[in-house]
Amino acid sequence: MPNLTQLRLAARDIFDETLRAVDAGEAVRRAVHLKGSQLTVQDATIELSNRWIYSIAIGKAALPMALALEDAIGERFIRGLIVGPVRTPPACSTPEACVPPSRWQWREGGHPLPTKTSLVAAEEAFALLDRANKERALLIFLISGGGSAMLEWPIQQGIALADLRMANKVLINCGASIVEINSVRRAFSAVKGGRLAARAPNCDQITLIVSDVPSGQERNVASGPTLAPSRDAPDPREVTARYRLDTKLPRQVLRAIDAKSDAPFPSDDIASLIGNHFVLLDNDKALAVAAKAARQRGFVTEISRDINDQRIEEGCPEILKRLEAFHMGGVHNPSRNSICLVSGGEFACPVNGSGIGGRNQETALRLALESENPDRQSRSMAFVALCAGTDGIDGNSPAAGAIVDSTTIQRAHAIGLDPEDFLKRSDAYSFFVALGDAITTGATGMNVRDIRILLAE
């Protein structure tokens, strides 16, 4: 049987293999093909005739998706806008390789909070859409996680950039789900909820999505700039009340939420006439890749898809309980071989202190603490848990996540660390740096949510 060192190496290998498999550029190349005047996107075929193609790419995967699209469509592509992260994706072998071609404009949008450049990017997007709309061109939107902050424009003139930044900071830290957060964001934005795409009604449109939201909720990726919100989307006023945000959000933002805005979202009927959307990559695909990689390494593997977006204080005990049951054997593991439990999603994780970290590092720390619970069977179980974001960025830290095992708390106490204190201060990154257990990948150039890989003998 493998020891803890081997389990830790296996967990990192599985995570790295998963990152390589969910490449946003390769996903576009697999999906888009041009032959003559016929453009095929997955199972849809569009007759271009004499039309040109414009594109807007927004989000953490904007650059690799944009470059792959231009490779696929060649000279039919006329002009595009890339709004991506400030950090250079490691997929670029040299700085020159990350410079977009001359047919692309490039803007480094803000993240996790919008910046002045986010507003500039919106103005440039409006200009490009106006041009495409006059020409009745084909528009291809490339949307990925993080785009919500990278391209933004307020719904009302009285909402300043400082208001947008404060509102997003409050929403990110309040513990609400991404669906709830986006319902509020859409209320004070002139680009979210399909409003960006609605500026070019004369264009056929296609949206290609690398999803960082739950399966079936692709309308929430980047707050859905090209897709109308679902009919059952939460009421933003109910969300602000539930999380007591009335005293925390800027006054102008609250006014926009209360007014529900003078610019309604495109209806589902209008959105269906605008064009099609396709999800190229999502968390389900990442989990499937991770599970396959674990099985290839000899682990009896299970995917717990139902442990995904719970509140972090609920999700951590549940996933450890699931690992314990799996470890005890039974129908899924009759031979009691080494096991792997994979789960994903994004736990709701309120920020309670001024430390450095994110939900993945806090998840890892909570799992280590929970495993020390006297009532836990895991106290006698050799296990490893790797919790990390596929975008390579966890909260306000430079790490993607962290790895823990059944000795983590013991090792922390041995060097004078108080895990509970780090947890209270939302300072999990400092804790794992001290132990040498932070997982650092750098920005990956894509985001398909988080992955948690738990291994046990």
- Does residue 376 or residue 44 have the better pLDDT? 44
- Which pLDDT band, with edges at 50, 70 and 90, does 112 fall under? confident
Specify the pLDDT at position 260. 64
Q: Residue 336 above 90 pLDDT?
A: no
Phi-psi domain of 175 (left: phi exceeds 0; alpha: psi -120 through 50; beta: other)? left
- Does residue 442 or residue 428 have the better pLDDT? 428
Whole-angstrom CA distances from 230 to 61, 144, 196, 216 are 24, 18, 16, 10
Specify the pLDDT at position 446. 86
Structural domain count, the chain: 2
Q: Residue 98 above 70 pLDDT?
A: no
Rounded to an integer, the average pLDDT of 96-104 is: 67
Of 320, 335, 331, 326, residue with least CA distance to 301? 326
Q: 274 and 355 share a domain?
A: no
Q: 297 and 319 share a domain?
A: yes
User: Which among 281, 316, 348 is the end of a domain?
Assistant: 281
Specify the pLDDT at position 424. 95
* Residue pLDDT, tens place only, 378-409: 566 889 999 999 999 999 999 999 999 999 99
Full domain range(s) for residue 363 = 4-16+284-456
Specify the pLDDT at position 270. 44
Residues 181/188, Cβ–Cβ less than 8 Å: no
Rounded to the nearest integer, the mean pLDDT of the chain is: 90
Residue listed under structure tokens 């669906």: 179
- Which pLDDT band, with edges at 50, 70 and 90, does 99 fall under? low
Burial letters for 57-79: b for 16+ Cβ neighbours within 10 Å, e otherwise?
A: bbbbbbbbbbbbbbebbeebbbb
Share of the chain above pLDDT 70, in %: 90
Q: 403 and 426 share a domain?
A: yes
Q: Which two tokens stand for residue 97?
A: 């390789």
Q: 341 and 373 share a domain?
A: yes
Q: 123 and 245 share a domain?
A: yes
* Residue pLDDT, tens place only, 173-204: 888 888 899 999 999 999 999 999 999 999 99
Q: Residue 14 above 60 pLDDT?
A: yes
- Does residue 323 or residue 85 have the better pLDDT? 323
Rounded to an integer, the average pLDDT of 243-263 is: 85
Q: 51 and 186 share a domain?
A: yes
Specify the pLDDT at position 176. 86
Q: 234 and 333 share a domain?
A: no
Q: 232 and 336 share a domain?
A: no
Q: 308 and 249 share a domain?
A: no
Residues 451/362, Cβ–Cβ less than 8 Å: no
Q: Residue 269 above 90 pLDDT?
A: no
pTM for this prediction = 0.86
Q: 266 and 308 share a domain?
A: no
Q: What CATH number corresponds to the domain at position 85? A: 3.40.50.10180
Specify the pLDDT at position 272. 47
User: Which among 249, 281, 313 is the end of a domain?
Assistant: 281
H/E element, 138:
strand 138-144
Q: What CATH number corresponds to the domain at position 388? A: 3.40.1480.10
| Burial label, 251 (beta-carbon count in 10 A; 0-12, 13-18, 19+) | exposed
User: Which among 259, 281, 303 is the end of a domain?
Assistant: 281
Q: 195 and 343 share a domain?
A: no
Q: 305 and 362 share a domain?
A: yes
* Phi and psi angles of residue 100, each rounded to the nearest 5 degrees, phi first: -65, 150
Residues 323/341, Cβ–Cβ less than 8 Å: yes
Specify the pLDDT at position 100. 61
329 vs 324: CA distance, rounded Å: 9
Rounded to an integer, the average pLDDT of 96-125 is: 86
* Residue pLDDT, tens place only, 312-334: 999 999 999 999 988 887 445 55
